[in-house]
Structure 1
Amino acid sequence: MFETHTRQQILNESATISELDLEIVNALQINPRAEWSRIADALGLSGPTVARRWNVLAEQGLAWITPSPGQRYLSAGWSAFIQLSSLPGESEALIQRLCEVPAFGTVSMVTGSHDVFMDCFASSHEELMDIVTGAFPALPGITHREVVFVTKLYRQASEWRSGTLEPARARLVSTEAKPAPAGYSPDRLDAALLEELSKDGRASWADLGAACGVSPQTARRRVERFLASGYITLRCDASTAATRGLREVTLMLNVPAQFVDDIGRYFAAQTNCRLSAQVLGAQNLVVTLWVRDYLEAQAFERELAERAPGSIVISRQAVVRTYKRLGHILDESGRSLSVVPLPLWREGSGRAAETPAGSDP
């Protein structure tokens, strides 16, 4: 649907991922831009060996690193979840068109009362309203839509870990948390660096600087600043070959107001939780879990009933196929074919920017 026959043939030649590759992916989930020598020390390998294996994974679309909203993103940008229903004969055309829109980060076909579940990102409230009101009339086959705005993040996919590495090895590649710098407004250089990182989240400082017309030192300083700020983070994703049978389930919940923060944090603390977010809509909490058996979802619902009496499960969705994940167009096996950079952060955006960005040489 989205790839040429030649490209698909190349990808089909290597659809597997080894245990060592899984360890490298896990290390990069923990620290996406860690030096190869540091990862090599944790794994008992050489730096060139780790770099070579990662390059093969990236070239084959089996794993990649890309910018992702950070814990403070909602103070600088805006996000929503959108559910769509469509005419059966129009679903393929609709999904392809949705994948072409930069603001729609992840696009999945799901079970349940809706056909498509996706997230949406915008750098301002006005931009988000424009998308919500203007993006859908021109799209084919839509019969119903539901939009909920994200108001608080308890956990997001960039914090999910596969757990392949032993805890001691995982600690060797982790970084210590640093105090976040004061808020600031992004400028054109920040936005340009983010776009380049969307293409290759491990691009060298020299390559990033050259692509954006600044020195490697400036590129590094700027990237490290917006990563430290918490507005943006980097995330390592992988194809379904790396998830080893995990299935994605999303629960739309309506939790009594006095319990919603506790329940949001409860789900966020679960190792198989990919997302826990408070939202504004008919539901007030959206939770995404990666499970090995769909019956696990029922166990969480029982726990929910005990912890927050009066809670209602508005809907349950299992992902049939993900066509786009955080800007990356995926094939049937979940391998990255290309990328449509997300509008996470643009010059002058930010609804809680306490101080302006300084000038760099």
Structure 2
Amino acid sequence: MISEMDLEIVNALQINPRADWSRVGDALGLSGPTIARRWHALADQGLAWITPSPGPRYLSAGWSAFIQLSSVPGEHEALIRRLCAEPAFGTVSLVSGPHDLFVDCFASSHEELMAIVTGSFADLPGVTRREVVFVTQLYRQASEWRSGTLEPARARLMAKESAPPPPAYAPDRLDASLLEELARDGRASWAELGSASGVSPQTARRRVERFLASGYMTMRCDTSVAVQQGLREVSLSLNVPATHVDSIGRYFAGLPSCRLSAQVLGAQNLVVTLWVRDYLEVQGHERELASRAPGSAVISRQAVVRTYKRLGHLLDESGRSRGVVPLPLWREAPFCRHPCAARVAGPS
């Protein structure tokens, strides 16, 4: 069973994933060792984990796309296994709607993403149709979603100190190595990260803090279905008039239930993911959309039936993490910068 204390610890780490245990303990009125013990119990059971996630500045250095696949029913299991084994496919979900699977894809360069889109699907079993849209701007990411378990005063105690981001730089192979280790254990100590990457703890800390402060990457606390307290995941693919797409993207981003709001290039121009308790909530958001941006159209509605992989973590039937395939967010140095880098905005 998930206790109220566990839910509060998870919420605290959603706000500040690598905060010292003593700080979490102070915010929750408990000792640091008690917090650490409870977290390790959750992590050991696969109920909660912390992992690197693309930050608001990621699109100025890397690339991302959403891929929807239809397949032959008899080939579903084989196809899902292949998708989950591929590092570039961060999340793999079985969904309702016109397609069977929803996949998000990450690449460290435009050329790499094009190679995945044009070459990776030929050998996949049972694929009958695919649709690819490229992410061009992020208004909100899943790393910004909060469960809201903590009282506001305690949540404020966990908030990170704001600071201006450092100048842009080209992440290198050491950064990539540290990210891979963080994918395996997002709470690994500086000494453990340094040892695994062949550098001192001080260097590991300096590098990690730099790429987190830069906004290229962030850390994210994810949980199994058991910890999500009955929330259901729904994605909307929208076509919004160009004069309203930014305002609507920001509208959805401001909703507590919003996990993702992203402008995309495809038949639709906005993809929104919501975590709701009742599917009827979606109709209310669609009515608000029609009011705020007349002429908008809902291209598709997808409810997640089951998630097999979430941001590199392989999930069992109950949504527990049972392994990880680190994402290839940073492969080479320097990054290939793409034309929209200068206009990419972070989540509002």
Q: What residue number does 1:143 align with?
A: 128
Q: What residue number does 2:259 align with?
A: 274
1:181 maps onto 2:166 in alignment:
yes
Write the distance in 2 (CA, Å) between the matches of 1:24 and 1:122: 32
Write the distance in 2 (CA, Å) between the matches of 1:251 and 1:351: 30
SS at match of 1:20: helix
Specify the code of the residue in structure 2 equivalent to 1:334.
G
CA contact (8 A) 1:67 1:235 kept: yes
Q: CA RMSD in A?
A: 1.0
1:55 maps onto 2:40 in alignment:
yes
1:329 to 314, 320, 337: 314
CA contact (8 A) 1:76 1:349 kept: no
Specify the code of the residue in structure 1 equivalent to 2:141.
Q
1:27 maps onto 2:12 in alignment:
yes
Q: Once the 2 structures are TM-superposed, how far is the Cα of residue 350 of structure 1 from its aligned partner?
A: 2.5
Write the distance in 1 (CA, Å) between the matches of 2:76 and 2:262: 27
Q: What residue number does 2:276 align with?
A: 291
1:158 maps onto 2:143 in alignment:
yes
5 Å-filtered alignment, 1:63-78, equals 63-78=48-63
CA contact (8 A) 2:109 2:337 kept: no
Specify the code of the residue in structure 2 equivalent to 1:146.
E
- Relative distance call for 1:249 and 1:92 in structure 2 (3 A) is same
TM-score, normalised relative to structure 1: 0.93
CA contact (8 A) 1:36 1:50 kept: yes
1:235 to 212, 217, 220: 220
Write the distance in 2 (CA, Å) between the matches of 1:59 and 1:112: 35
Q: What residue number does 1:221 align with?
A: 206
SS at match of 2:94: strand
Q: Once the 2 structures are TM-superposed, how far is the Cα of residue 18 of structure 1 from its aligned partner?
A: 1.1
Write the distance in 2 (CA, Å) between the matches of 1:45 and 1:322: 34
CA contact (8 A) 2:108 2:336 kept: no
Sequence identity, in percent? 78
Specify the code of the residue in structure 1 equivalent to 2:77.
E
SS at match of 1:184: coil
1:100 maps onto 2:85 in alignment:
yes
Specify the code of the residue in structure 1 equivalent to 2:64.
S
SS at match of 1:91: helix
TM-score, normalised relative to structure 2: 0.96
5 Å-filtered alignment, 1:206-217, equals 206-217=191-202
1:90 maps onto 2:72 in alignment:
no
- Unaligned 5+ segments in structure 2 are 342-348
Specify the code of the residue in structure 2 equivalent to 1:94.
L
Q: How many residues align?
A: 339
Q: Once the 2 structures are TM-superposed, how far is the Cα of residue 80 of structure 1 from its aligned partner?
A: 0.1
Q: What residue number does 2:344 align with?
A: none
Write the distance in 2 (CA, Å) between the matches of 1:349 and 1:270: 36
Write the distance in 1 (CA, Å) between the matches of 2:265 and 2:65: 9
SS at match of 2:264: strand
Q: Once the 2 structures are TM-superposed, how far is the Cα of residue 352 of structure 1 from its aligned partner?
A: 4.3
1:126-161 per-residue CA deviation (whole Å, 9 max, x = no partner) reads 000000011101000000000000000000000000
SS at match of 1:158: helix
CA contact (8 A) 2:194 2:200 kept: yes
Write the distance in 1 (CA, Å) between the matches of 2:243 and 2:19: 41
CA contact (8 A) 1:80 1:148 kept: yes
Q: What residue number does 1:197 align with?
A: 182
CA contact (8 A) 1:187 1:347 kept: yes
Aligned structure 1 segments of 4 or more residues deviating by more than 6 angstroms: none
1:174-194 per-residue CA deviation (whole Å, 9 max, x = no partner) reads 112211111111111000000
Write the distance in 2 (CA, Å) between the matches of 1:170 and 1:159: 13
SS at match of 2:262: strand
Write the distance in 2 (CA, Å) between the matches of 1:281 and 1:320: 24
Write the distance in 2 (CA, Å) between the matches of 1:194 and 1:172: 27
Q: Once the 2 structures are TM-superposed, how far is the Cα of residue 351 of structure 1 from its aligned partner?
A: 3.9
Q: What residue number does 1:133 align with?
A: 118
Write the distance in 2 (CA, Å) between the matches of 1:348 and 1:225: 16
Specify the code of the residue in structure 1 equivalent to 2:117.
V
CA contact (8 A) 2:264 2:270 kept: yes
Write the distance in 2 (CA, Å) between the matches of 1:101 and 1:270: 32
1:118 maps onto 2:103 in alignment:
yes
SS at match of 2:97: coil
1:84-126 per-residue CA deviation (whole Å, 9 max, x = no partner) reads 0000100111011100000000000000000000100000000
Q: Once the 2 structures are TM-superposed, how far is the Cα of residue 346 of structure 1 from its aligned partner?
A: 2.3
CA contact (8 A) 1:30 1:161 kept: yes
